[in-house]
Structure 1
Amino acid sequence: MASLNLHHLRLFRATAREGTLTAAAKALNISQSAVSTQIKALETDLGHDLFERRGRNLVLTEAGRIALDHADEIFRTAEQLTATFRAVGQQRKVLRIGALATLSRNFQLGFVQPLIGREDVEVVMRSGTQASLLRALEAMTIDVLLTNMVPARDAASPYLVRRLAEQPVSLVGGRSRLALAAQGLPKLLAAAPLILPTPETALRAGFDALTERMGIVPRIAAEADDMAMLRLLARSDSGVAVIPPIVVQDELASGALYELFQLPDITEIFCAVTIRRTFPNPLLADVLENAEAEAAGA
């Protein structure tokens, strides 16, 4: 197959959007016959018809829909390339952060705190699954991923992982749980209704291993995969929550909740995942250095 002609691809994309050769030719300010000829050349190169005629309109074939998806991606990448080099030497004003949906909101807020209030900076935050955010990182639609799940790495892995903080995990509950907590950790684990992270989380794996070593079968009142929900359940006094204290730091400070016990050998690690880039976002260096300094001083 001949090398793909991007000019032909651009004409095809315009025709697909306009729906007719006449409209595409008008939008591109060239003759209709030129558009038709060059689309036929593209179809010859690809070996498939890209349109079928329905009345006066042209409708994409299955091959045409596939070609349009790729054309959109090609020209989107070209636009990003142009924007990247235009930005060289200029101050970047936007930092795009992806955060695991289950990650502590307090930790996320602390991470972006150095940028909050700066009139020259916009912070864009999006949440999602680990897999979707790693794809966004590789596509460079986010600058950094905040997570408590370290991605697998091998020789071919593009990920750069920086550990920002390591937080203890505790049993946290309301005033009504203090008397039971006074009887000791084993009694609290065995008798209190527990609010736990869901089984697929690293925190839950550590907790299950702890209770198994202690020979305790816990009473599970609720499970949640979201730290915000664990926080709400703890505040509602539905039970004793297994949670990093940073998640409920405001409630602990106000006395609405109490840190009953710090769980031995269980911690939550907060990481920043990036990829190597020729033109890294300078704002990212500022927040990463601040987060590491905060952790070192803690």
Structure 2
Amino acid sequence: MLNYKQLHYFWRVAKTGSIARAAEQLRLAPQTISSQIGTLEQALGTELFRRAGRRLELTAAGELAVSYADEIFQIGRELEETVRNRPARGDILFRVGVADVVPKSMAYHLLAPALGSADRVRLICREDKLERLFAELAIHKIDLVIADRPLPSQLGVKGYSHTLGRALIAFYAVRKLAQTSRKGFPQSLHGAPMLLPGDGAAMRGALTRWLGEHQVEPQIVGEFDDSALMKAFGKAGTGIFPAPVILADEIRSQYDAEIIGRADGVFATYFAISVERKLMHPAVVAISNAAKSELFIADNATAG
């Protein structure tokens, strides 16, 4: 079995570049550290350092060992922090990453059932780029990722994509702009000011194709990774913007925007991505069940 004390000594030497500096930090004799690293090299069956004059350089095996040690000690720090700040007895810690392209209101509707489940859940939610969230899922730093696309197979991350549902997309605008754009829709969008999600959003490509199929070329005045910011510009009358039909009531109340028309055939699909092939976490099960039986049912009926 790997001796983690020896690994820590090796890691310190690799980070400081010197046995003497590592010994000073660890308050140990240099001979002790050198001996322990030698024992680790014997256990691994390879050299981790080579001499370059008076300096120590990492071998290829040493470089690989450092990358693993970085991850091991990072997980150790996270374990210590999590245990120290653990939730009250009986609570279930539920750590979720939400892709930054997922609308905030949609994320709320998807995650809210977790807090209403029979078990007491403490939700820890963070937003980030999908690539970083997938990396954190791989090392079990988070339990679930809410995304608008499945987990790409080429990432090499062991995980499973569970479809929560799909939402039909419509175009919205403040009342004055909506009234002038409804007549002759969708040709009325030609030359109209348009706010679109950034290239990172899965539905961007479908919207572009839909506009092309209808031979409509709007004036794109803004592109946004953050859908809430896009809607804020829409509320100011800057342009027309796309969003799921099932959020129409919230968009009307929060952003004073109305539906101009629907982009038939264009959907935003939402996924729960976890390391579980079969959903077992009670909070994830609650999210999946509510999404399929409550959240998307009205929209699917409308779309069908």
SS in 1 for 2:186: helix
User: 2:214 is matched with which residue?
Assistant: 214
Aligned to 1:133: 133
Aligned-residue RMSD, C-alpha: 4.0
How far did 1:47 drift? 1.8
Give the structure with higher Rg (CA). 1
Hey, what does 2:26 align to over in structure 1? 24
- Aligned-residue identity in percent: 19
What TM-score results when the alignment is normalised by the length of structure 2?
Answer: 0.74
Give 1:189 deviation, angstroms: 1.2
Inter-CA distance 40–278: structure 2 relative to 1 (3 Å threshold): farther
Deviation at 1:21, TM superposition (A): 3.0
Q: 1:276 matched to which residue of 2?
A: 276
**Aligned residue type for 1:227:** S
1:245 to partner: Cα distance = 3.9
Cα displacement string for residues 224-246 of structure 1 (whole angstroms, at most 9, x for unaligned residues):
23211221111110111122245
| Residues 100-141 of structure 1, C-alpha deviations (whole Å, 9 max, x = no match) | 111110011112223458995321112222222222212111
Contact 1:21 1:36 in 2 (8 A): no
| Residue correspondence of structure 1 range 205-284 to structure 2 within 5 A | 205-246=205-246, 249-253=249-253, 256-276=256-276, 281-284=281-284
Q: Which residue of 1 aligns with 2:101?
A: 102
**1:93 aligned partner:** 92
Deviations for 1:166-207, whole angstroms, at most 9, x for unmatched residues? 212111011112432342203421242111223554323222
Q: Which amino acid aligns with 1:263?
A: A
For residue 288 of structure 2, what is the amino acid of its counterpart? L
1:278 to 1:212, Cα distance in 2 relative to 1, 3 A = closer
Aligned residue pairs: how many? 283
Is the counterpart of residue 74 in structure 1 residue 49 in structure 2?
no
Deviations for 1:267-288, whole angstroms, at most 9, x for unmatched residues? 1111111122799543322333
Q: Residue 162 of structure 1 corresponds to which residue in structure 2?
A: 162
Measured against aligned partners, the alpha-carbon deviations of 1:35-56 in whole angstroms (never above 9, x if no partner) come to 44223433565424389999xx
In 1, distance between residues paired with 2:92 and 2:51? Answer: 42
> Match of 1:109, SS?
helix
**Unaligned residue ranges in structure 1 (runs of 5+):** none
CA contact (8 A) 1:167 1:269 kept: yes
> Are positions 1:287 and 2:287 aligned together?
yes
AA in 2 matched with 1:41: T
SS of the counterpart of 2:271? Answer: strand
Aligned residue in 1 for 2:37: 39
Of the structure 1 ranges 197-206 and 265-274, higher mean CA displacement relative to structure 2 is found in 197-206
Alignment partner, residue 193 of structure 2: 193
